């Protein structure tokens, strides 16, 4: 963690937030949103996915979005990769960092990428080879890691085994995803412990959805466990098209407010974040889903804490 922040928040709205929207946002508009998020102090963004456009048409143009942003920013800019072909696309678009994603359960894996967990891991081997040859850093996400939309609670040992295999393939960070937003703090505690048992030296992060309203409790639990990497989406947008019942991500502004109110630095300006949220809502044609979006801005604490805790914007 750098001197300006105690936790690293990656905003995933341009990937996870948009993949479940009924409309597709043009690449240029996605670039504009990314620039505004960077100006608000974010230094880590998910900006797209190299996946089947038949399955996720909203991700069309991810190569153009990534290519544009890489040329003008030193931020961590992630795209998702599922196959060797996706890895090649990421490299050609100038990726410096990617995330590979594997479900911990066969039924969700089959629904999302058409193969079992074991097959998904096997076909990622060549993808890691492509990325490593190009000098691209690969992080991994176990999604889902806590609760499956089809099979219910996931044994921590299964999530841990998936994480271990991803690290063996070359992942340098492992993110654990509550894809359906049904995890509880106890499940977070148990699964984090199981994963740390098998990959004790690998940094962990959390990717949280808020279907059951537990995302902030889960984030706080994880922080108490020493985790300082969190995914969130501005406005609480998002959901998994392949996980029935999944709803939006934990909202970036809600997570920032929670941490700031506890004196934990994120490097993010809450007021600028609010403006990005409101502008994106206009583009999408519906209201944001975050808790703070329902709180008048003049209510004490609604702005997310003292802006003095926030680092300077990355982009002028």
| Residues annotated catalytic, as ranges | 240
User: For residue 256, what are its two tokens?
Assistant: 């920032």
DSSP per-residue string spanning 55-123: T-GGGTTHHHHHHHHHHH--SEEEEEE-SHHHHHHHHHTT-SEEEEEE-SSHHHHHHHHSS-HHHHHHH
Examine residue 187 and say whether the peptide bond preceding it is cis (omega within 30 degrees of 0).
no
Helix (H, G, I), strand (E, B) or coil at 194: helix
- Tell me the CA distances in angstroms from 249 to 115, 154, 157, 194, 303, one per residue in order: 25, 20, 25, 24, 20
Q: Identify which of 279, 180, 292, 296 has the alpha carbon closest to the alpha carbon of residue 236.
A: 292
Pick the closest to residue 311 from 33, 47, 6 (CA basis).
6
Cα separation, 101 vs 174, whole angstroms: 10
Contact 248, 233 (CB under 8 A): yes
Helix-, strand-, coil-residue percentages of the chain, each rounded to 5: 45, 15, 40
Structure token digits, residue 145: 């890691």
């Amino acid at each position: 963690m750098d001197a300006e922040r105690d936790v690293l928040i990656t905003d995933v709205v341009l990937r996870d937030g948009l993949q479940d929207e009924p409309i597709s946002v043009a690449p240029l508009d996605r670039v504009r949103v990314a620039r505004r998020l960077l100006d608000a102090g974010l230094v880590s963004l998910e900006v797209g996915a190299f996946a089947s456009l038949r399955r996720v048409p909203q991700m069309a143009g991810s190569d153009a979005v990534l290519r544009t942003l890489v040329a003008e920013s030193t931020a961590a800019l992630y795209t998702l990769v599922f196959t060797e072909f996706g890895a090649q696309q990421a490299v050609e678009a100038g990726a410096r960092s990617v995330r590979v994603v594997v479900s911990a359960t066969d039924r969700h894996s089959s629904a999302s990428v058409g193969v079992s967990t074991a097959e998904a891991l096997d076909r990622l081997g060549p993808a890691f080879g492509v990325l490593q040859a190009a000098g691209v850093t690969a992080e991994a996400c176990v999604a889902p890691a806590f609760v499956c939309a089809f099979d219910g609670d996931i044994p921590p040992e299964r999530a841990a085994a998936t994480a271990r295999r991803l690290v063996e393939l070359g992942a340098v960070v492992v993110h654990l995803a509550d894809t359906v937003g049904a995890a509880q703090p106890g499940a977070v505690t148990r699964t984090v412990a199981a994963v740390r048992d098998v990959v004790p030296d690998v940094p962990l992060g959390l990717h949280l959805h808020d279907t059951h309203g537990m995302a902030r409790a889960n984030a706080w639990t994880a922080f108490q466990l020493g985790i300082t990497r969190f995914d969130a989406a501005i406005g609480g947008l998002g959901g998994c098209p392949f996980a029935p019942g999944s709803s939006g991500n934990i909202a970036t502004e809600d997570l920032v407010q929670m941490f700031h109110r506890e004196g934990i630095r994120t490097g993010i300006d809450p007021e600028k974040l609010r403006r990005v949220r409101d502008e994106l809502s206009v583009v999408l044609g519906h209201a944001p889903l975050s808790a703070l979006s329902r709180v008048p801005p003049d209510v004490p604490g609604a702005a997310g804490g003292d802006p003095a805790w926030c680092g300077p914007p990355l982009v002028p």
